Amino acid sequence: MEPGIKNGDRLFASPFPYGARLFFLPAKLPAPDHPRRGDIVVTRRASPGPGAFNTFSDALLRFFTGQNIGNKTSMSSRFSVKRVIGIPGDELFMEEFIMRIRPSGDAYSLTEFELALGSYNIISPTIPKGWDSSLPFSGSMPLIRLAEDEYYLVSDDRTGSSDSRTWGAVSLEDIVAKVSIRYWPLNRFGSP
């Protein structure tokens, strides 16, 4: 997620804005909000998790040790931090690493920066001459339309990050938390 979130940054993410799932309840709690364009979210990857006990014990160890010690179940292998670019009903495509979005019911498409609630920067590499634009991570993407309960998540580092361009749109069920604050390093404390 560079340049906004750097490797080693510590973030606070809450599951409550989009409806938290508590381990003892079969369903999610009511959601007071929904993902909006520009939100930074934590999403569950498709790979199977290590089990409830290992997940709980790992979270407990990491909490009390400031994320320095875990029980060999890597949180980073199960979860990803991405930016919400498209919401249900949007039509979107990519040109020169910039997403263009036509919201449902609108006649025109706008860039991701014009539609996001906040500002952010992206990393977009220079593509070599003669590069085939149909290849993944080439800076372009054909038009897609998001169905109901589909969200399109992309990394700010567009050079080769695994995101919705490779795994497709995700459902609200797969978005587990909203990132609200960076608490470490202290000199960059605040909204990521």
**What tens digit of pLDDT does each residue of 117-156 get?**
888 888 887 777 777 777 667 788 899 999 999 999 999 8
pLDDT tens-digit map of 13-49: 888 888 877 766 667 777 778 899 999 999 986 544 5
* Spatial CB neighbours of 128, under 8 Å, sequence gap ≥ 6: none
Cβ atoms 3, 192 nearer than 8 A? no
The Cα–Cα gap between 137 and 161 comes to: 8
Instruction: Look at residue 101 in the predicted model and tell me its pLDDT.
Output: 95
Domain ranges across the chain: 10-188
- How many residues would you count in the chain? 192
What CATH fold (topology level) applies to the domain 10-188?
Answer: Umud Fragment, subunit A (2.10.109)
Looking at the DSSP bridge assignments, the partners of residue 153 are: 84
Residue with the bigger pLDDT between 98 and 33: it is 98
Which strand ranges, in their side-by-side order, compose the sheet holding 91-95? 110-111, 98-102, 91-95, 141-145
Tokens of residue 14, six digits:
């809450």
